[in-house]
Amino acid sequence: MTEPLPGLTADDVRTARFGRPEWGKRGYHKGEVDAFLELVAGRLETSDGLTAADVHNVAFSRPPIGRRGYNEDQVDVLLDRAEAAIRQLEQMRR
């Protein structure tokens, strides 16, 4: 098992909370974001799974019309941190 990286842990990812997008915007689909972040948390705990490129390239759909998902900017900040943490793990394995 790999050591947790300072600055971002699996618990940080699992307990992250996001606000709603601005009025009139739909944001990211909550279920898709939650499922992907569980994969990210798992990757931070083990040496297998997602790559930094997977995190960089992820795309989420919009929630159904009339529903508001997660604030995109807030999710993107966490994804940037996750990408950096996973990239660091990848470099440590080389």
Summarised one tens digit per residue, pLDDT across range 34-47 is 999 999 999 999 87
Look up the pTM and report it.
Answer: 0.89
- Is residue 2, in this structure, part of any structural domain at all? no
Mean pLDDT, rounded, for 11-15: 97
Is-contact 12 57, C-beta < 8 A? no
- How many whole angstroms separate alpha carbon 90 and alpha carbon 71? 29
User: Per the domain annotation, does 1 fall within a domain?
Assistant: no
User: 33: domain range?
Assistant: 10-93
Quick one: the chain helix, strand, coil %, rounded to 5? 50, 5, 45
76 three-state secondary structure: helix
Structural domain count, the chain: 1
Torsion angle, alpha carbons of 31, 24, 22, 28, to 10: 20
In a domain, 51, yes or no: yes
- Total count of residues recorded for the chain: 94
Reading the block at residue 62, the tokens are 């919009």
